[in-house]
A and B are shown apart, each in its own frame.
Chain A
């Protein structure tokens, strides 16, 4: 699924449709949303660099980390940082979101890639800055660029839900935007704020703990973190254009090198084993027994080996009738003879040949009731 998301972000928008949008949401009890965010960010970045993606530039809006953090991150993923000016723009809403830092401090002078936003409350300005940065790279034509917001939670702290929704909706419907994705800490906001953003996204990826945690206070949750440390469930809901919704689930592990996604390990097997009551009888099969059982050829199975399909229908079949003559009393039907010793066989022994199998005769006929 993580793959699917990467592809969706890479392929971008269709002409005349809204750009695909991805919400990544996490909570304090499973605070790895940022790792998922950087995973998709790095993936899209390398796609842009190798010109595989629809978008030619990425505008990153940072609320929770400094631009230098992202340079280090990209560098650690082997993405060429020297070339960033060709494809990356950062709108820095982290370093000075409210314009408190003034007086011409030297380290705040923006370079070609970064632009500092000094009033994050003004989302109209923010929108025009994002578009300006993107167009600065791809030009005014039909080329598209992507937008990533590292924490909508940061944005929601300074602006109302409706204005944030407006910003995102404007981004999605803009003709030059290829895709939009963002991270939100859903426990910091009312349910409606998260729901609004989910309505506007074509894919919602939510990180959930494997061990369910009761809805208690904040600190209760944070200390149950250890159980879920490093791994969790990655639930994805994809909305198709025709309204079809597809929900899928994956497992993730967070390592030093980043987040890894994998198919949910069949934890059921483990559960089954522990759920089987401890009894004297052998209720389970060993691996060998399982393999043998797999190999048994059932009488009704089509073998696909060119021979006629012989299905025992309760009457003597033709082939049986032929060598039936030699054994008048007892018939051994060998439906399938296998030279291979490993394969199973079914031998059918009929009790007596006198009695017609499945005759219409009432078996209780002789009972004197």
Chain B
């Protein structure tokens, strides 16, 4: 298994020296993608980082609204991570929410939260004593669809997940699409989420058009990083990527081989 860090890991502050392999507990990460450039590979990358031994012994609680288990299993297997085994070991907890539908109100969302809360409580209980819990939601816009367009319910759910991050120290990874909101109606949902999050990872197509060697660009924003002078800073990393068969290459603009 290849654990050499790449530009994305560096941008997210993962490195081997500090033995930090996954997202800092309590942090909230938003992956914002668009139609031309899917951000799913970033989610897969974070999933792998959170699960891969020996660097991590974390638990991932995966709320899937977009794809069935077999989809993620196939992708992660190519990257050297066996989700089926991890699922049996109780480290990958897959919530199949493909059929989630809450037509009349909030019950479905509350039920989903209860499920998440219960699982997190069990994982963090002395019996299992897993401190490293990551909740992943793929994706927010489908959750909005499930609630029949009520973004308030989605925000309520996210708020409750936020309380879990501060109570138990879970981290939260969200995937959402930036281009499905017209500027008039509901930029508010994305704005609300952006106010909540600590890290935003955005995928965009190349501004100069399609290219065979470069599939798009990534912008990683880390909010409130303390720099060497003790000042709080927002740090932005910007680089290009190329999605390959079983890995992703990250490089600075112009330095592609």
**Which residues does A use to contact B, with CB under 8 Å?**
28, 31-32, 35, 65-66, 68-69, 94-98, 100-101, 107, 153, 157, 185, 187-188, 217-219, 222-223, 225-226, 228-230, 253-257
Instruction: List the B side residues contacting A157 at CB < 8 Å.
Output: 152, 155, 192
A302 → chain B closest CB, angstroms:
48
> CA–CA, A230 to B235, complex, Å?
10
- The answer to the question of B167 belonging to the interface, with a C-beta cut-off of 8 Å to chain A, is yes
**Chain B residue with minimal CB distance to A97?**
B159
Whether B191 and A229, one on each chain, are in contact in the complex, defined by CB atoms closer than 8 angstroms, is no
Whether B178 sits at the interface, judged by CB under 8 Å, is yes
Find A100's partner among B113, B152, B187, B232 (CB 8 Å cutoff).
B113
**A223 and B236 within 8 A (CB):** yes
- Chain A residues, Cβ within 8 Å of B235: 226, 229
> What is the CB-to-nearest-CB distance from A3 to chain B, in angstroms, rounded to a whole number?
22
> Is A253 a contact partner of B231 (Cβ separation < 8 A)?
yes
A218 touches B163 (CB 8 A): no
Q: Is the CB of A66 within 8 A of B221?
A: no
CA separation between A94 and B191, bound complex, in Å? Answer: 19
B3 in the interface (beta carbon within 8 A)? no
In the complex, the answer to whether B200 meets A98 with C-beta atoms within 8 Å is no
State whether A69 and B219 are in contact (beta carbons under 8 Å apart), knowing that A187-B191, A218-B187, A219-B202 are contacts in the complex. no
B87 CB-CB contact with A under 8 Å: no
Beta-carbon contacts under 8 Å, B207-245 to A = 219, 221, 223, 226, 230-236
List residues of B whose CB falls within 8 A of some A CB. 32, 110, 113-114, 117, 152, 155-156, 159-160, 163, 166-167, 178, 183, 187-188, 190-192, 194-195, 200, 202, 219, 221, 223, 226, 230-236
Please give, as numbers and ranges, the residues of chain B lying within 8 Å of A256 by CB-CB distance.
226, 230-232
A28 touches B195 (CB 8 A): yes
Contact count A vs B, C-beta below 8 Å:
87
A217-B160 Cα distance, complex, nearest whole Å: 27
Residues of B near A185 (CB, < 8 A) are 195
Q: What separation, in Å, do the CA atoms of A361 and B232 have in the docked complex?
A: 74
Indicate the member of B117, B156, B221, B232 with the most A CB atoms within 10 Å.
B232
The residue among A153, A188, A219, A255 with the most chain B CB atoms within 10 A of its own CB is: A219
CB pair A255–B232 under 8 Å, yes or no, is: yes
A223 touches B202 (CB 8 A): yes
Residues of B within 8 A of A222 (CB): 194, 200, 221
Q: Which residues from chain A contact B155 at a C-beta distance below 8 Å? A: 157
The residue on A at minimum CB distance from B238 is A223
A-B contact pairs, 30 of them (CB 8 A): A28-B191, A35-B232, A66-B167, A68-B166, A94-B163, A95-B163, A97-B156, A100-B113, A100-B114, A100-B160, A101-B117, A101-B160, A107-B167, A157-B155, A188-B188, A188-B195, A217-B187, A218-B194, A219-B178, A219-B202, A223-B236, A226-B235, A228-B234, A230-B231, A230-B234, A254-B232, A256-B230, A256-B231, A256-B232, A257-B230
With contact pairs A28-B195, A219-B202, A223-B202 given, residues A96 and B163 touching in the complex (Cβ less than 8 Å): yes
> Chain B's nearest CB lies how many Å from the CB of A37?
14
Find out whether the CB atom of A219 lies under 8 angstroms from the CB atom of B117.
no
- Which residues on B sit within 8 Å (CB–CB) of A218? 187, 190-191, 194
Give Cα A98 to B106, complex, Å.
Answer: 11
CA of A31 to CA of B219 in the docked complex: distance in angstroms?
19
**9 tightest A-B contacts by CB?**
A229-B234, A225-B234, A229-B233, A226-B236, A254-B232, A230-B231, A218-B191, A66-B166, A256-B230
Q: Are B236 and A225 in contact (CB under 8 A)?
A: yes
Q: 9 new A-B pairs (CB below 8 Å) besides A100-B113, A218-B187, A226-B233?
A: A66-B166, A101-B160, A188-B188, A188-B191, A228-B234, A229-B234, A230-B233, A255-B230, A256-B226
Contact residues in A for B188 (Cβ distance below 8 Å): 188
In the assembled complex, the CB of A163 is this many whole angstroms from the nearest CB of chain B, namely 16
Q: Assess whether A31 is in contact with B160, with CB atoms less than 8 Å apart.
A: no
In contact, B191 and A223 (Cβ under 8 angstroms): no
Known: A225-B234, A226-B235, A257-B230. A100 touches B110 (CB 8 A): yes
* CB closest chain-B residue, reference A225: B234
Q: Which of A188, A222, A230 has the most CB of B within 10 A?
A: A222
A107: which B residues are within 8 A, CB to CB? 167
Q: Which chain B positions have C-beta within 8 A of A187?
A: 191
**Shortest CB distance A288–B (Å):** 33
**Beta-carbon nearest neighbor of B219 in chain A:** A223
